[in-house]
Chains A and B, each alone.
Chain A
Amino acid sequence: MPRVLLGVDVGGTFTDAALLADGRLFSAKAPSTPDNQASGVIHAVHAVLERAGRSPHEVEALAHGMTVTTNALLEGRAAPTALLATEGFTDLIELGRQARASLYRLCEQHPPPLTPPERRFGVPERMGPDGPLRPLDEVACEPLLDELAAASPQAVAVVLLHSYADGAHERRVGELVAERLPEAHLSLSHQVVGTFREYERAATTEIDAGLSPLLSGYLRALVTRLSELGLPAPQIMQSSGGLIDLETAAGHAAVTVLSGPAGGAAGAALLASRSGHPDVLCFDMGGTSCDVCVVDGGRVRETTGRLIAGRPLALPALDVHTVGAGGGSVAWRDPGGALRVGPRSAGAIPGPASYGRGGTEPTVTDANLLLGYLDPSSPLAGVALDRGLAERAVARLAEALGLDTIACAEGIVRVANAEMVRALRVMTVERGVDPRSYALMPFGGAGPVHATAIADALEIERIVCPRASGVLSALGLAAAERRGDAQRSVLRSGAGLTREALRREVAALREQAARVLGRSPAGSAAVEVEYHLRYQGQSFELPIVGPEDPDVERLMEGFAEAHEERYGYRDPESEGELVTIRVTLREPGPELDLRVTGGPPEAPGSGLSRREAIFDGRARPARVLARPPEPGQSLEGPAIVALPEATLVVAPGWRGETDDAGTVILERA
């Protein structure tokens, strides 16, 4: 059955498109257009359609990952938003958790709330952990609603204390607001987040309210331009790694805050499973930054509590850690005479010195060019690289450091690698995981250049480099599953924790998740239930996967086992407490045939030449493969392999094979 699937991913520097048609993968890159991401998207779509020789009408499904919400958060941009909170607690959003933003930069501020004090209103009510302490005073609400209307917000966030336990007051306040301000976007904290810990719930709800008008504006404009071209409405990537309908995303901006990196992680998980190496450490190195994640058994590790641009996000998200090391990261000398790289990036404009667009500072890409890893004659996303300009930029820094130019270039790459190694350690050793038990998967335009060096530093024995690693995020989007999540803190223990009570909770959450997915509960989606448990008195929960109507004793036993495995003991004297239940509905993505077919125009081995490249301070003649290796083709370092939109550098001491999907599996010789 002929299917044409399209994925478009917006990165900090480039917008990538991947098109799958009849088992063949086509890719294209266009410069990102931060002011209006839709332009870059349209350019990339045009380019890939042209390359594949397809018309827009043939595209059956379009999946989109973007950074509209991420960028808005980074810049603190939001629609005019009001916050309604329990009277006496309207400052919660500003008080935060009391820890300061930086240990030593005493005046560094947390990002200010999206709602300023004059747009925060106290609601006359007070809910306690076990029900209302003060009923909602609807009469006293009237003047409050007048004030709210006078502030004419585009969005309203309602966050009342203990609403995770009882959402009645929030729902009623929501009805009153909707009557008065029918045009305003409304986010109720017990629906958007559902978990306890008031600050994190408030901050997440505020993000949902303040960004939804921006996101829906972007998506509506995009869908108009796409439909003019004859393309279908896109599905939108969530932070959780699953797609949802455009309309749902437009109303729930909070679930899209990590939309960008999630596509890459989803692609990595897909290729990891496909390659027979389901446990991989991934690093996605683009022009601006490097995203790191861990795939266990073919699934990306997730987290529920994290900070984005200094703001907490209390929703399920893939556990992606970002550091400022990309191809465009600028190298510099610090006051102590050490060589540093990043976090500042030369971005797409002016870009690395070798782009010849006016950049004069040396970047990682310039260093890679000087070391012979990148080919000056083959353009990077349409830009030819100028070796002379790179050399001039690196030489200037080398002089300041008292090094020769090539040693300085090697230094830049080593320091950038150290930054990524540190990020990979944060995701492994700092979470109690031994990186040596994983394979390494490099992707992103700049990732595969650095793969063998990073594997060496982490003592990783195997590298899995997908043929499409240059556009893996876009491929991940095209192949992604659809997903809906719902969660609620129930904080039940002892007699309150019965099978019947759990069944009711799970059924309600399942219905809520189905609404997110836009399906009836009886749909075909797979149901997954996570129970987050702890011993009473603890502050951290452990997630236990269980059935929809779990036997309470078995659930507790599962928790005790997990606790013992994680912390080295179980505590028979403490009572277990069920803190939160999360229901996830998943609909698998399209089955993809990723086998490389059609054969190459020439026999394998052709297009082969040699180029000098520097490894460990020595110039070595490296074999250069000008096109991706064919299934079955073996490789031996030193070698440099051109992949679509990326370059794989195989250091001496590594050798590898190519599988039927074109994935290169390298091992230490």
Chain B
Amino acid sequence: MTPPAAEGLDPIALQVATGALRAACEEMGAVLVRSAHSANIKERRDASTALFDPQGQMVMQAEHIPVHLGAMPSAVAAVLGERHEPGRSWVLNDPYAGGTHLPDITVITPVFGDRPHRPAPGRASAGRRSALSLLGFAASRAHHADVGGAAPGSMPADSHRLDEEGVIISPQVLDEEAINRLASRMRQPAERRADLRAQLAANRIGARRLAEIAHRVGPDRLARTTEAVLDYAERRTRACLSEMVDGARHARDVLEAPEGDLELHLEATVSGDELVLDFSGGALQHRGNLNCPLAVTRSACYFAVRVLTDPDIPPSAGAYRPITVRAPEGSLLNARPPAAVAAGNVETSSRVADLVLEAFGRALGQGTMNNLTLGNDDFTYYETIGGGQGACPDADGPSAVHVAMSNTLNTPIEALEREFPLRVAGYALRRGSGGSGRHRGGDGVVRELEAREPMTYSLITERRRHPPPGAEGGAPGATGRNLLDGRELEPKVSGRLEPGQRLRIETPGGGGHGG
């Protein structure tokens, strides 16, 4: 007896399939984080893992940090048309061919299983051929500590072209030869090789689990199962969107580029159970590195939509079907080669999320990761600093947290002072920096570091000229400040520190909500 195909899965099978796919993605993530060598992957968990169907639809994703949410499908799309064979994986990082920024390397492995067979009713399946069929793809993305280029860490503050930022990997087969060839052009090649192998190991686990799920539900029913999981996520997103008031909402905001402010616009239109996010009319791509490919813009939009709808909705392509993201080609948010993109993934993505949240009446958080790099010939130290979260309609914004696309841990003072020629001269809440309102914005952070040796510093920060706005009459948060021995610095700046000099960073507060 064949159940009617039109009618998805029963509520129990649906929940069990969703759980199994989620567990498979989480297991992939665990293998990746556990076996990787880059601190970025194993400690900051700047990595994602996902499973796809044969058409390249993302069936499920493990969520470690939000920045990869919507950007993974572009990577699978970039290799979808290739000839796939068991055991042949693909690699890429080109932001203009499936990637985000160069340190994020994506590895994609096709998954094969027994070919579905449909024996005639009543006849045994003795004569079937055990051919292989494509069940889908396992994909993992990780932020590698270095991918070559002019600056250690491959996150330069002042790049103008993509090729200054590191090795560009166009989609290609990832075999031993490719691992060695690619790693040899990056710093710490042994660590790069190990990280790529960790990604392959993660994909192998994902492939095995997907094949097991196919075996359990029956190979000819896998497609129906995954489609049901996608439909389920879609239904839940549509249910949330249809509760929103129809019509267009607008938001505008700026990025603080060295050459001046870059303006961004959003028109967000809800009609029924669909949402269109249109960024037309904003800044064109610029000579710095705040540009981003459309995939990053989409990720930031999906992050904001998850915040505005229901975070329990399984993260799959289905959840994003009712959402259309538009940004004109050649604009800052849909840049073309050879524009540089290093800061796009960390700072511009934050502002895109801000625009969506602002359009829906939310007060905004600090809107920056406060990227600080210190170093000399003997060491490199990178940190991001939390700040104030925007207040919600029903609650105060938390203080001293990463607010949007990042969610990494800080480095303890007792570790920092032991390992680096630095002393922490102060670390406190920036009290009163959150915007007032019926619900207060969260407070920022004051962090002051003192150099014990000569070294260079580089700061990529935002919200130094324009404060994070409040909503519904709530006051904006305080702008951030960068100070060198009490002298104020630009939002994006690099220079030298002598022993005893102190760099003080005051991170922005969040906007308040309600007058």
User: Could you tell me the distance in whole angstroms from the C-beta of B394 to the nearest C-beta in chain A?
Assistant: 8
| A74: Cβ under 8 A from any B Cβ | no
| A110 on the B face (CB < 8 A) | yes
CB neighbours (8 Å) of A410 from chain B are: 12
**A98-B27 contact, Cβ under 8 Å, with A103-B311, A411-B11, A568-B35:** no
User: In the complex, A577 Cα to B303 Cα: how many Å?
Assistant: 40
CA gap between A109 and B389 in the complex, in Å: 10
8 Å CB interface, B404-434 against A:
407-410, 412-415, 417-419, 423, 425-429
Q: Are B427 and A109 in contact (CB under 8 A)?
A: no
Q: Is B19 an interface residue (CB 8 A)?
A: yes
The answer to whether A106 and B427 have CB atoms under 8 Å apart is no
Contact code string A337-363 (vs B, CB < 8 Å = 1, else 0)? 111100000000000000000000000
Q: Contacts of B386 on A, CB cut-off 8 Å?
A: 98
Q: Which residues of A contact B34 (CB under 8 A)?
A: 431-432
Are B415 and A196 neighbours in the complex by a CB distance under 8 Å?
yes
Which interface residue of A91, A340, A539 has the most chain B CB atoms within 10 A? A91
A323 to chain B, nearest CB (A): 12
Is the C-beta of A491 less than 8 angstroms from some C-beta in chain B?
yes
Q: Which of A94, A418, A422 contacts B429 (CB 8 A)?
A: A94
Nearest B-chain residue to A402, judged by Cβ: B11
Q: Known contacts being A106-B392, A196-B415, A414-B12, is A98 close to B409, with CB within 8 Å? A: yes
- Give bound CA distance, A540 to B415, whole Å: 12
The answer to whether the Cβ of B287 comes within 8 Å of any Cβ in the partner chain is no
Q: Are A100 and B429 in contact (CB under 8 A)?
A: no
CB-CB under 8 A from B23, the residues of chain A are 421-422, 425
A507 at the interface (CB under 8 A from B): no
Question: Which residues from 55 to 96 on chain A have a C-beta closer than 8 Å to any C-beta of chain B?
Answer: 88-92, 94-96
A97 within 8 A of B: yes
Label chain A's interface by main secondary structure. Answer: loop
B39 CB within 8 Å of chain A: yes
Q: What is the chain A residue whose CB lies nearest that of B413?
A: A198
Binds A, one of B232-240, B260-268, B495-503: B232-240
Select one of B27, B392, B410 contacting A425, CB under 8 A. Answer: B27
Name which residue of chain B comes closest to A571, CB basis: B190
B380 to A: closest C-beta gap in Å: 11
Known: A129-B417, A425-B23. A95 touches B30 (CB 8 A): no
B427 touching A88 by the CB < 8 A rule?
Answer: yes
Which chain A positions have C-beta within 8 A of B391?
107
A107 contacts B389, CB within 8 Å? yes
Judging by beta carbons under 8 Å apart, are A100 and B10 in contact?
A: no
Shortest A505–chain B CB gap in Å is 17
Q: A94-B400, A429-B30 are in contact. Are A103 and B63 (CB under 8 A)?
A: yes
Q: A337-B232, A411-B11 are in contact. Are A539 and B407 (CB under 8 A)?
A: no
Chain A residues with Cβ under 8 A from B445's Cβ? 95, 98
Residues in A whose Cβ lies below 8 Å from that of B394 = 107
Chain B: which residue is nearest A96 at the CB level? B400
CB of B132 closer than 8 Å to a CB of A? no
Question: Does B194 touch A at the CB level, under 8 Å?
Answer: yes
Instruction: State the Cβ distance, A461 to closest chain B Cβ, in Å.
Output: 17
Q: How far is the CA of A657 from the CA of B310 in the complex (A)?
A: 49
Q: Does B245 contact A (CB under 8 A)?
A: no
The chain A residue sitting closest to B12, CB to CB, is A411
Report Cα–Cα, A109/B439, bound state, in Å: 14
Contact A110 B398 (CB under 8 A): yes
Known contacts A103-B66, A105-B311; A89 and B11 CB within 8 A of each other:
no
What mask results when residues 549 to 571 of chain A are scored 1 for a CB within 8 Å of chain B, else 0?
00000000000000000011100
The one of B63, B423, B427 in contact with A91, judged by C-beta atoms closer than 8 angstroms, is: B427
Given the known interface contacts A88-B428, A196-B412, the answer about A100 and B407 at a Cβ–Cβ threshold of 8 Å is: yes
Report the bound CA distance from A335 to B236 in whole Å. Answer: 6
How close is A170's CB to chain B, nearest CB, in angstroms? Answer: 14
Are the CB atoms of B232 and A106 closer together than 8 Å? no
Closest approach, in angstroms, between the C-beta of B474 and any C-beta of chain A?
13
Does the CB pair A338–B398 fall under 8 Å? no
Question: Is A199's beta carbon under 8 Å from chain B?
Answer: yes
Complex: chain A residue closest to B30, CB-CB: A430
Residue among B16, B26, B63 making CB contact with A418, cutoff 8 Å = B16
B399 close to chain A: CB less than 8 A: yes
B15 to chain A: which residues have CB within 8 Å? Answer: 338-340, 411, 415, 418
Q: Is there a chain B Cβ closer than 8 Å to A161's Cβ?
A: yes
* Contact assessment for A162 and B385 in the assembled complex, using a CB-CB cutoff below 8 Å: no
Interface string of A163-185 (1 = CB under 8 A from B): 01000000000000000000000
| Range, interface on chain A | 35 or more
The reply on B403 being an interface residue by CB < 8 A is: yes
Q: What is the distance, in angstroms, from A663's C-beta to the closest C-beta of chain B?
A: 30
Flag if A106 contacts B307 (CB, 8 Å): yes
Complex CA gap A94/B445 in Å reads: 11
Are B402 and A569 in contact (CB-based, < 8 A)? Answer: no
Given contacts A338-B18, A411-B11, A425-B27, contact A100 B402 (CB under 8 A): yes
List residues 286-336 of chain B with CB under 8 A from any CB of chain A.
303, 306-307, 310-313
How near does chain B come to A28, taking the closest CB pair, in angstroms?
A: 37
CA distance A627 to B409 in the complex (A): 53
- B200 interfacial by beta-carbon distance below 8 Å: no
Most buried by B among A101, A197, A337: A337
Which of A107, A418, A430 has the most chain B CB within a 10 Å cutoff? A107
Q: In whole Å, how far is A608's beta carbon from the nearest beta carbon of chain B?
A: 33
B426 to chain A, nearest CB (A): 5
In contact, B429 and A91 (Cβ under 8 angstroms): yes
Chain A residue at smallest Cβ distance from B27: A429
**B427 adjacent to A89 (CB under 8 Å):** yes
- From known contacts A88-B428, A91-B427, infer whether A333 and B401 are also in contact, taking CB-CB under 8 Å: no
In the assembled complex, which residues on chain A have CB atoms less than 8 Å from the CB atom of B307?
A: 104-106
With A107-B397, A429-B27, A567-B35: A197-B414 Cβ-Cβ less than 8 Å: yes
Q: Mark B36-49, 1 if CB is under 8 A from A, else 0.
A: 01010011000000
Let me know if B508 is at the binding interface, CB within 8 A: no
CB of A168, distance to nearest CB on chain B (Å) = 16
Interface residues of B in 80-94 (CB under 8 A from A): none
With both chains docked as a complex, state the minimum distance between the C-beta of B77 and any C-beta of chain A, in angstroms: 25
Chain A, residues 381-416, CB within 8 Å of chain B (1/0): the string is 000000000000000000001110001001100110
Residues of chain B with a CB closer than 8 A to A90's CB: 428
| Chain A residues, CB < 8 A from B12 | 339, 403, 407, 410-411, 414-415
Taking a contact as CB atoms under 8 Å apart, the answer to whether A97 and B392 are in contact is no
Flag whether A537 is at the interface (Cβ < 8 A).
yes
| Most-contacted residue by chain A among B18, B235, B303, B418 (CB, 10 A) | B418
On whether A199 and B412 interact (CB within 8 A), knowing A104-B311, A415-B15, A418-B19, the answer reads: yes
How far is B275's CA from A635's CA once the two chains are assembled, in angstroms? 59
A107 partner, pick from B27, B398, B412, beta carbons under 8 A: B398
Q: CB within 8 A of B395: which of A107, A334, A422?
A: A107
Docked-complex contact A569 and B194, CB < 8 angstroms? yes
Q: Is the CB of A403 within 8 A of B429?
A: no
Instruction: Determine if A97 and B409 form an interchain contact, defined as CB atoms under 8 angstroms apart.
Output: yes
Is residue A102 within 8 Å, beta carbon to beta carbon, of the partner chain? Answer: yes
Pick from B233, B401, B423, B426: contact of A100, CB below 8 A: B401
Q: Judging by beta carbons under 8 Å apart, are A109 and B398 in contact?
A: yes
User: Which residues of chain B have C-beta atoms less than 8 A from A95's C-beta?
Assistant: 400, 410, 427-429, 445
By a beta-carbon cutoff of 8 Å, the part of chain B in contact with chain A is 10-12, 14-16, 18-20, 23, 26-27, 30-31, 34-35, 37, 39, 42-43, 63, 65-66, 194, 232-233, 235-236, 239, 303, 306-307, 310-313, 365, 385-386, 389-392, 394-403, 407-410, 412-415, 417-419, 423, 425-429, 445
A-B contact sample (10 more), CB < 8 A, given A161-B413, A199-B412, A334-B236: A92-B413, A100-B389, A103-B407, A196-B415, A196-B418, A197-B415, A198-B414, A335-B310, A338-B18, A411-B12
A and B contact pairs by CB, cutoff 8 A, 25 listed: A88-B426, A94-B429, A98-B386, A98-B408, A98-B409, A99-B402, A103-B407, A106-B307, A107-B391, A107-B392, A107-B394, A107-B396, A196-B414, A197-B414, A198-B413, A334-B236, A335-B239, A335-B310, A336-B236, A338-B232, A411-B12, A429-B30, A430-B26, A431-B34, A432-B30
